[in-house]
Amino acid sequence: MAKWVYLFKEGKADMKNLLGGKGANLAEMTNLGLPIPRGFIVTTEACTDYYNSGKKITDEIKNQIFASLKILEDEQGKKFGDTTNPLLVSVRSGARASMPGMMDTILNLGLTDAAVEGFAKKTGNARFAYDSYRRFIQMFSDVVMEIAKSKFERVLDEIKEKKGVKYDTELSAEDLKDVIAQYKVLYKAEKGTDFPQNPADQLIEAVTAVFRSWDNPRAIYYRRMNDIPGDWGTAVNIQAMVFGNMGDTSGTGVAFTRNPSTGEALIYGEYLINAQGEDVVAGIRTPLPITRLEQDMPEAYKEFMRIATLLENHYKDMQDMEFTIEDKTLYFLQTRNGKRTAPAALQIACDLVDEGKITKEEAIKRIEAKSLDQLLHPGFDVKALKAANPVGKALPASPGAAAGKVYFTAEDAKVNHEKGERVILVRLETSPEDIEGMHAAQGILTVRGGMTSHAAVVARGMGTACVSGCGEIVINEEAKKFTIAGNTVKEGDYISLDGSTGNIYIGDIPTVEAAISGNFNRIMTWADEIRTLKVRTNADTPADAANAVKFGAEGIGLCRTEHMFFEGERIHKIRKMILSNTVEAREEALNELIPFQKGDFKGLYEVMEERPVTIRFLDPPLHEFVPTEEDDIAALALDMGLTVAEVKAVCDSLHEFNPMMGHRGCRLAVTYPEIAKMQTRAVMEAAIEVKKEKGFNIIPEIMIPLVGEKRELKFVKDIVVETAEAVKKELNSDIVYHIGTMIEIPRAALLADEIAEEAEFFSFGTNDLTQMTFGFSRDDAGKFLDSYYKGKIYESDPFARLDQEGVGQLVKMACEKGRATRPNIKLGICGEHGGDPSTVEFCHKIGLNYVSCSPFRVPIARLAAAQAALNNPRG
């Protein structure tokens, strides 16, 4: 017979998977001899069993619960539901990973109409007893029976008003009896039955409710945001009640052993006299700072500090604790490693190392890599933010806070930025033509597009705040205004965006600049000593590249050459190339682009010095470059000596049903080899010139995108080699260069052994590979992915966190096949996933040489790579 229930004393801290974090820590504290109310834990496996049994708790599990309850009764000398000395318990969730506030808690369970009388008599405190019962009815009805809490609060408020009191502590026992009577009426009206008077039923219903709460929408959302698997389940902690609401010698509070905002090594927390746990959170009365306890109850405070220090030393990390003082006696109800801001995380980690409590390696493991994002981007002024209410929320596409005047075109954004204004660019969706306006903007807001839309990718590259896919907005770009939640925002109005949360505010909220501390550099240095995976960056401009180098990038893993084509007169030349209908005319137009492209590459080489730079050849379909505005079309027609109709006809002919699966990537080089020739010439001339001018030993890496077949790569490679060799001869250079390919088409992964015969390196383009492997486009998936999260079909966004089972299977296969043919092949990843910690760990595990991510994610990747190395030592 399986063991589904553990007494606290049967567990310990390392049984988190089975007992949940809270349960394991309660067990550990119990065994440390700390003042913990006794109790027991229904395991996470019981939760899984509940879901596998058609959402039923089996009799076997019920029997074990009641057997443990019997032991608890004996320990406490009380009886569950007893009319003279009733045992009351709390029922609380506790998953493996801490999910604060996501699931449910019920206190004072075991009270009934009969038991409350005995409880009042036994404690000699009728007011306390009825207060406990009304709290229980309220919580049970809300959490277990799903009757809106507000309905009960309304009853309570009415009675307080009638009595002319402000706080519920001012209500008498008789008042509370009234409350209870009305609560019970309310309950019956809502549910059609009386409030349950059998404590055993109450208990099983409560346990069921906790299990059920594992799958409530906010828990599902939280898990998705925090990469917590849906099949872990939650444990349930059933614990004898202690009471902070027994009068003025009682109280309850929460505290951290260090400051969770700054990391300062001083106790931090607050408490309420004569209260139960939920009152602290509810904010009805203002809690007191924990240090006040020293005056109010010096003995309790001394004991509290002793145990707090003991717990931090035991767990070797900053602790987040809940405690209750019942008539001057201190009890701990919970401890866990505390959540903290990124600056605090760095401070605490460094301090703990300096205090000799943990090693550098442990310090590295402690810091949540994703949280570093906070350090590198401006944030809102905390006080100002508190006063502001968001009018909408969309996807947090690129972190950081931004405030400025709204403009609806890239041109307007640019012009007004140049006038010295702070600017927010608002667009239906951005296109590569908007690049200059995006550069000028403090923040970008789009109506359409997901976390990997054009706006999101470019904004992250630049470190600009971006909120994308805000479907609530009704935009009128011509009229230069939009509406959101009933507010109309016109050109020039101020809005503020939080790219880390996706919140949108009306008005100008002050921001504070990012400030990188010495702790940051210390931690990064430790991470670099530990990690084996290299970290490169995706960067298209010298400015992005310089930023990335500052953040520790060791090379460029992806330079998207097409991003260079949109600025100024270049776009015009590209359009001329597209409109040419002979090879000669195309070559002529392309030749005019060489100086620009070469200049770009020289800039990159100069910034990157001898670090590797991988340049991807033209990737997007040509229709992304053609004009859509009448003016631009007319100008182009004039310049080309064509009619407007002719220009439009060419643009129309470029229309594609599924552009993502269209004429793009190396397919362009196969049909227009002259494009690859031009780009090769620009790369090679730039490298040779910088090598001569600066003395850097530059080894260009040319990357052919969207390859699906060895002969396709060979075809383009032959063009590249022919041109490169010609340039070398012309410039009398013996420069070395490498040619490789993106692996971003499933077929390329399947045939990677053949492709590796022609490729010196693979770079996994996991954005496209994810799209093709799942068969959905990242731009369209928004329409249904929410249903998939709700239905627990997918637990995370496969465009943010690499799908290791499916897409990862292809990546792994391609690595193995590629190495089979070319053992020393260089392997990297340059999709958006390169900056995601779980993906970085996967890349480490399958033995990639590097990950490449946007500049602002480089520190995340460095830290994640170090964590991966610690968790998965190679070989």
Of 510-569, binders to a second copy (CB under 8 A) are: none
* C-alpha–C-alpha distance, residues 133 and 88, integer Å: 10
The interface region with a second copy, picked from 323-331, 539-547, 582-590, 789-797 by CB under 8 A, is 789-797
Q: Which helix (H) or strand (E) holds 170?
A: none
Give the position of tokens 């406990």. 132
Report the candidate in 467, 345, 481 with the shortest Cα–Cα distance to residue 399.
467
Amino acid at 387: A
Q: Does 247 bind a second copy (CB under 8 A)?
A: no
With binding defined as CB under 8 A, does residue 766 bind a second copy? no
Number of residues that bind a second copy (CB under 8 A): 47
Q: Which is nearer to a second copy, 525 or 671 (CB)?
A: 671
Q: Binder to a second copy among 610, 709, 722, 760 (CB under 8 A)?
A: 709
Residue 56 in contact with a second copy, rule: CB under 8 A: no
Q: Which is nearer to a second copy, 34 or 742 (CB)?
A: 742
Q: Is the dihedral of CA 769, 773, 778, 780 positive or negative?
A: positive
Catalytic residue among 466, 470, 830, 843: 830
Considering only 544-552, 640-648, 652-660, 687-695, which stretch makes contact with a second copy by CB under 8 A? 652-660
Q: Is 706 in the site for a second copy (CB under 8 A)?
A: yes
Could you say which of 3, 490, 692, 792 contacts a second copy (CB under 8 A)? 792
d(C-alpha 814, C-alpha 817), whole Å: 5
Can residue 368 be called a binding residue for a second copy (CB under 8 A)? no
Query: Residue 162, Cβ neighbours under 10 Å: how many?
Result: 10
Are 459 and 478 spatial neighbours (Cβ–Cβ below 8 Å)? no
CB of 783 to a second copy, least distance (A): 5
Rounded distance between C-alpha atoms, residue 838 and residue 503, angstroms? 25
Listed ranges 91-99, 306-314, 462-470, 704-712: which one lies at the site for a second copy (CB under 8 A): 704-712
Q: Which of 206, 248, 189 is nearest to 90 (CA)?
A: 206
Residue 644 touches a second copy, criterion: CB under 8 A? no
Tell whether residue 806 is a contact of a second copy (CB under 8 A). Answer: yes
If we measure between CA atoms, which residue out of 536, 584, 551 comes closest to residue 763?
536
Please report the sign of the dihedral spanned by the C-alpha atoms of residue 530, residue 534, residue 538, residue 541: positive
Contacts of 406 (CB under 8 A, 6+ apart): 424, 426, 482, 489, 490, 491, 492, 493, 494, 495
Q: Is 787 in the site for a second copy (CB under 8 A)?
A: yes
280 close to 270: Cβ distance less than 8 angstroms: yes
Structure tokens given for 617: 């050849």
Concatenated DSSP letters for 775-821?
T--TTTTHHHHHHHHHTTS-SS-TTTS--TTTHHHHHHHHHHHHHHH
Nearer to a second copy, 590 or 810 (CB): 810
Is residue 780 close enough to count as binding a second copy by CB under 8 A?
A: yes
User: What is the smallest separation between the CB atom of 557 and a second copy, expressed in angstroms?
Assistant: 21
Which residues neighbour 161 within 8 Å (Cβ) at sequence distance 6 or greater? none
By beta-carbon proximity to a second copy, the closer residue of 585 and 661 is 661
Q: Annotated catalytic residue: which of 454, 563, 623, 844?
A: 454
Q: Is 470 a known active-site residue?
A: no
What residue type is 458 in one-letter code?
Answer: V
Quick one: which segment of 195-203, 377-385, 521-529, 778-786 binds a second copy (CB under 8 A)?
778-786
Q: Decide if residue 599 touches a second copy (CB under 8 A).
A: no
For position 777 contacting a second copy by CB under 8 A, the verdict is yes
Binding mask 665-694 for a second copy (x = CB under 8 A): --x--xx-----------------------
In terms of CB distance, is 635 or 670 closer to a second copy?
670
Q: Does 660 bind a second copy (CB under 8 A)?
A: yes
Question: Do residues 612 and 551 make contact, with C-beta atoms less than 8 angstroms apart?
Answer: no
Question: By C-beta, is 746 or 837 nearer to a second copy?
Answer: 746
Q: Are the beta carbons of 257 and 351 closer than 8 angstroms?
A: no
Yes or no: say if 300 and 330 are a contact pair by the CB < 8 Å rule: yes
User: What distance in Å separates the CA atoms of residue 108 and residue 135, rounded to the nearest whole number?
Assistant: 8
Site for a second copy in 728-747 (CB under 8 A): 744-747
**Least distance to a second copy from the beta carbon of 669, Å?**
10
User: Is residue 794 within the footprint of a second copy (CB under 8 A)?
Assistant: yes
Rounded to an integer, what distance in angstroms lies between the CA atom of residue 704 and that of residue 617?
6
Kindly tell me which residue out of 113, 418, 630, 656 binds a second copy, with binding defined by CB under 8 A: 656
d(CA 771, CA 109): 50
| 805 interacts with a second copy by CB under 8 A | yes
**Catalytic status, residue 830:** yes
Q: What are phi and psi of 733, to 5 degrees?
A: -120, 150
Contact with a second copy (CB under 8 A): which of 100, 518, 775, 823?
A: 775
Residue 615 bridge partners (DSSP):
559, 702
Residue 751 as a binder of a second copy (CB under 8 A): the answer is yes
Instruction: Decide: is 809 part of the binding site for a second copy (CB under 8 A).
Output: yes
Determine which residue in the list 147, 207, 807, 860 makes contact with a second copy, applying CB under 8 A: 807
Write out the two tokens for 17: 């998977």
Among 28, 803, 832, 836, binds a second copy (CB under 8 A): 803
Contact between 771 and a second copy per CB under 8 A: yes
Check binding of 662 to a second copy (CB under 8 A): yes
CA distance 25 to 22: 5
Interface with a second copy, residue 398, by CB under 8 A? no
Q: Which listed range, 318-326, 341-349, 430-438, 799-807, lies at the site for a second copy (CB under 8 A)?
A: 799-807
According to the binding rule CB under 8 A, does residue 712 interact with a second copy?
A: yes
Q: Strand 329-337's sheet: what is its strand order?
A: 288-289, 268-273, 251-256, 319-326, 329-337
Q: Which two tokens stand for residue 454?
A: 């054009």
Residue 872 touches a second copy, criterion: CB under 8 A: no
Binding site residues, a second copy, CB under 8 A = 656-663, 667, 670-671, 706, 708-709, 711-712, 715, 744-747, 750-751, 768, 771-777, 779-780, 783-784, 787-788, 791-794, 803, 805-807, 809-810
Query: Catalytic site residues?
Result: 454, 830
